Amino acid sequence: MQTPQRPTLTQFLIDERRRFPEAGGDFNSVILNIALVCRRISHAIACGALAGVNGSADSTNVQGEDQKKLDILSNDLFIEGNQWGGQLAGMVSEELDEPYSIPKPYTRGRYLLLFDPLDGSSNIDVNVSVGSIFSVLRAPDSRRATKAEDYLQPGVEQVAAGYAIYGPATMLVLSVGTGVHAFTLCPLVGEFMLTHPNLKVPEDTSEFAINTSNSRFWEEPVRRYVDECIAGKTGERGKDFNMRWIASLVAEAHRILMRGGVFLYPRDNKQPARNGRLRLLYEANPIGFIMEQAGGRASTGHEPVMQVKPTDIHQRIGFIFGSKNEVERIEQYHKHPRRVDSPNPLFHERSLFTETPNMQ
């Protein structure tokens, strides 16, 4: 099989570094170490049941979620593959209760790594695409062990973010703040090759993704938006929409990055104590960084997600991202809620489903 001559991930990073002569090599090493870990995870996933790595680990993580064997394996690979190089001061993982400080005899470096080692792992056993998500921040002080407060930086402070998607092909999608580029793992040479430079999210779309089984818990602006999409040509929007739902954040983000769309996992009242379902630091912020670097938009519905000041390393948040014009429309619906006397007879407060107040 002949393949066109394409730059490798290493060559791409070297070219990027040449634009900043004052930069050292530590940053490139961080990204290359992550890429190596993703290659190892890809191999483990491909082996699947043959290697005995599918199925439940009969344990839960700090989120109270059931862990898969591959969750634990992927987390171990991220720790093992990134602690030794001297570039990191510490790490935060979805699978760890507390931050992981680089142990002796390894030296500490200038960066922090935050990651979801295997997003969408509940789909592993049915062979649906899953992925790894990562975010890179600067360490406030590399001379000491990291504290939880060191990681509580808003998404705008990220110096790099990306994800690997393990599907029909394994791809690494990366932004170092100069656009978004996707690299495909070549099975012939075992290297990530640049195949999709300068990806852009279309500003408009006719696809949306949301879990409609939660519709009874949605806030009114989200219900309003989805109702309009479902109404199609006969409704206010005057065009038909298609709905998608994979239940894997990486797979949803990758589809939107490649062809447009909008994804909604909004805050709702299903669990009122939670501000949302997805984690801010190692899911929403890195995906938001990717989307905005590609010309899309990422939001909580109320504000840009990357401007949110974190309060906890495992903080949850409502998350809406994708094609810019659709996300901005949803934000406007939150800023300017529909009046209760607006025409929507099934859902507004004075509908046939609401009891008439007792007038005494």
Q: Which CATH number do you get for residue 269?
A: 3.40.190.80
Q: What is the pLDDT of residue 326?
A: 98
- Residue 301: name the closest of 274, 351, 347, 337 by CA: 337
Q: What is the pLDDT of residue 360?
A: 35
- Binding-site annotation, residues for Mg(2+): 94, 116, 118-119, 283
* CB proximity list for 73: less than 8 A, separation 6 or greater: 41, 44, 53
Mark whether 102 and 241 lie in a shared domain.
no
Mark whether 146 and 212 lie in a shared domain.
no
Q: Which residues span the domain enclosing 55?
A: 9-199
Mark whether 165 and 253 lie in a shared domain.
no
Mark whether 235 and 300 lie in a shared domain.
yes
The tally of domains found in the chain comes to 2
Mark whether 77 and 192 lie in a shared domain.
yes
**CATH number, residue 143:** 3.30.540.10
Q: Is residue 350 part of a domain?
A: no
Q: What is the pLDDT of residue 346?
A: 45
- Residue 10: name the closest of 135, 177, 195, 191 by CA: 191
Mark whether 161 and 276 lie in a shared domain.
no
Ranges of residues in the chain whose predicted pLDDT is under 50: 345-360
Q: CA-CA distance, 251 to 249, in Å (whole number)?
A: 6
Q: CA-CA distance, 140 to 142, in Å (whole number)?
A: 7
Mark whether 189 and 245 lie in a shared domain.
no
Mark whether 284 and 318 lie in a shared domain.
yes
Mark whether 136 and 244 lie in a shared domain.
no
Mark whether 32 and 143 lie in a shared domain.
yes
Pairing of strands 242-244, 207-209: parallel
Q: Which of 199, 215, 242 is the last residue of a domain?
A: 199
Percent helix, strand and coil across the chain, each to the nearest 5: 35, 25, 40
pTM exceeds cut of 0.75 = yes
Triad 297, 117, 317: Cα angle to 5°: 40
Q: Is residue 344 part of a domain?
A: no
Q: What is the pLDDT of residue 353?
A: 39
Q: CA-CA distance, 122 to 132, in Å (whole number)?
A: 13
Do 235 and 228 touch, CB atoms closer than 8 A?
yes
Q: Is residue 323 part of a domain?
A: yes
- Binding-site annotation, residues for substrate: 119-122, 211
- Binding-site annotation, residues: 94, 116, 118-122, 211, 283
Q: Is residue 347 part of a domain?
A: no
Q: Is residue 346 part of a domain?
A: no
Tokens at 214, concatenated:
């939660």
Q: Is residue 257 part of a domain?
A: yes
Mark whether 302 and 214 lie in a shared domain.
yes
Q: Is residue 93 part of a domain?
A: yes
Q: Which of 199, 227, 242 is the last residue of a domain?
A: 199
Mark whether 142 and 276 lie in a shared domain.
no
Q: What is the pLDDT of residue 310?
A: 98
Q: Is residue 348 part of a domain?
A: no
